[in-house]
């Protein structure tokens, strides 16, 4: 769990009345590691579902299971900016209901540096807030990480960091030093997981007006807001739609102002 229960359990207990217990001896690294030695099979949601299934197998008496999964990479709109997406999945074994909470962090603590000396590694670690923010050191080839050539995760202080970087540089000529993305070594990520849990709790309270199933959330954002000047439909979002996963009931609600700025209209401003 990498300590995620510290932020998830109190929120679920306070707002949903759930008593959260961690599964003893549960190795989540088998579902993928950020340090690349174990690739994640499938999507982020697939990994969370796999954790849920494994938790139910370990605790056959449990009705509800909760799993968290994070994903990190460049922002698709601003590629040089880091984007972290956290999901917290709740599943009810008896009903088959799944409810997801998501949070996107546009300033995720996800970065790295390729270094050829210990001083550069220490400077990078200082910039990211080490040791409160953990770092890992990996082997390097062609400026790309090669964990099979060396991997140091449990770096507690500067002496550990210097030993790890020195060992990898001696073997590879360079080392990749990057932020540790495990939740217990990444305070910003832990806060994002808490935000995703809050979203999950809100989604549990969103019930379908037809069948009362919990978890009614926005599934589509619909463009077509009319131009304020000429009335032509634009690409500006006009409504959001939610579809019940149980009965299929669909509702639309207006999103944003009733008309779009003419500057965003392809007819007025081609």
At residue 142, does pLDDT exceed 90? yes
Q: Say if residue 98 is in the same domain as residue 232.
A: no
At residue 83, does pLDDT exceed 80? yes
At residue 85, does pLDDT exceed 70? yes
Compute the mean pLDDT over every residue in the chain, rounded to the nearest whole number.
95
User: How many independent structural domains does the chain possess?
Assistant: 3
At residue 77, does pLDDT exceed 90? no
Q: Say if residue 139 is in the same domain as residue 232.
A: no
CB burial string 44-79: b at 16+ within 10 A, e below = bbebbbbbbebbbeebeeeebbbbbbbbbeeeeeee
Asked if 7 and 194 touch (Cβ cutoff 8 Å), the reply is yes
Q: Say if residue 24 is in the same domain as residue 157.
A: no
Quick check: is 213 in a domain? no
Q: Say if residue 190 is in the same domain as residue 76.
A: yes
Q: Say if residue 42 is in the same domain as residue 171.
A: no
Q: Which helix or strand (DSSP H or E) is residue 100 part of?
A: strand 98-105
Q: Say if residue 83 is in the same domain as residue 61.
A: yes
Give how far the C-alpha of residue 210 lies from the chain's centroid of Cα atoms, to the nearest Å: 31
Name the pairing type of β-strands 98-105 and 175-179: unpaired
Q: Say if residue 93 is in the same domain as residue 10.
A: yes
Range of the domain at 250: 218-264
Helices 187-205 and 5-16 cross at an angle (nearest 10°) of: 20
Residue 1: per-residue pLDDT? 58
Quick check: is 88 in a domain? yes
Residue 2: per-residue pLDDT? 80
Q: Say if residue 27 is in the same domain as residue 145.
A: no
pLDDT-above-70 percentage for the chain: 100
Domain end position, chosen among 132, 163, 180: 180
Other CB atoms within a 10 A radius of the CB of residue 241 amount to 14
Q: Say if residue 104 is in the same domain as residue 116.
A: no
Q: Say if residue 17 is in the same domain as residue 96.
A: yes
Residue 251: per-residue pLDDT? 96
At residue 75, does pLDDT exceed 90? no
For residue 76, give the 3-state DSSP assignment.
coil
For 164-175, what is the mean pLDDT? 98
At residue 99, does pLDDT exceed 70? yes
Confidence of residue 216 (pLDDT cuts 50, 70, 90): very high
Structure pTM?
0.89
Q: What is the dihedral of CA 38, 160, 141, 85, to 10 degrees?
A: 50
Quick check: is 212 in a domain? no
Q: Say if residue 47 is in the same domain as residue 89.
A: yes
For 232-244, what is the mean pLDDT? 96
17-31, 42-56, 175-189: which has the minimum mean pLDDT?
17-31
Q: Say if residue 43 is in the same domain as residue 97.
A: yes
């Amino acid at each position: 769990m990498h300590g995620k229960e510290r932020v998830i359990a109190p929120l679920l207990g306070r707002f949903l009345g759930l008593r959260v217990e961690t599964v003893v001896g549960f190795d989540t690294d088998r579902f993928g590691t950020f340090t690349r030695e174990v690739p994640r099979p499938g999507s982020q949601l697939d990994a969370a579902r796999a954790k849920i299934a494994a938790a139910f197998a370990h605790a056959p008496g449990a009705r509800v299971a909760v799993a968290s999964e994070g994903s990190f990479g460049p922002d698709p709109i601003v590629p040089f900016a880091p984007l972290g997406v956290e999901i917290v999945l709740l599943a009810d074994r008896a009903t088959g209901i799944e409810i997801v909470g998501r949070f996107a962090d546009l300033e995720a603590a996800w970065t790295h540096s390729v270094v050829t000396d210990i001083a550069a590694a220490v400077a990078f670690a200082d910039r990211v807030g080490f040791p409160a923010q953990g770092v890992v050191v990996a082997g390097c080839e062609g400026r790309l990480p090669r964990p099979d050539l060396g991997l140091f995760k449990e770096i507690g202080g500067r002496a550990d960091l210097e030993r790890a970087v020195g060992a990898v540089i001696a073997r590879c000529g360079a080392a990749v030093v990057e932020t540790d993305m495990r939740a217990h070594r990444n305070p910003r990520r832990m806060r994002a997981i808490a935000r995703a849990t809050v979203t999950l709790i809100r989604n549990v309270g969103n019930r379908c007006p037809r069948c009362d199933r919990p978890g009614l959330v926005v599934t589509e954002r619909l463009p077509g807001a009319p131009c304020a000047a000429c009335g032509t439909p634009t690409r500006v979002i006009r409504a959001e739609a939610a579809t019940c996963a149980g009965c299929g009931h669909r509702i639309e609600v207006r999103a944003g102002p009733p008309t779009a700025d003419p500057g965003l209209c392809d007819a007025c401003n081609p």
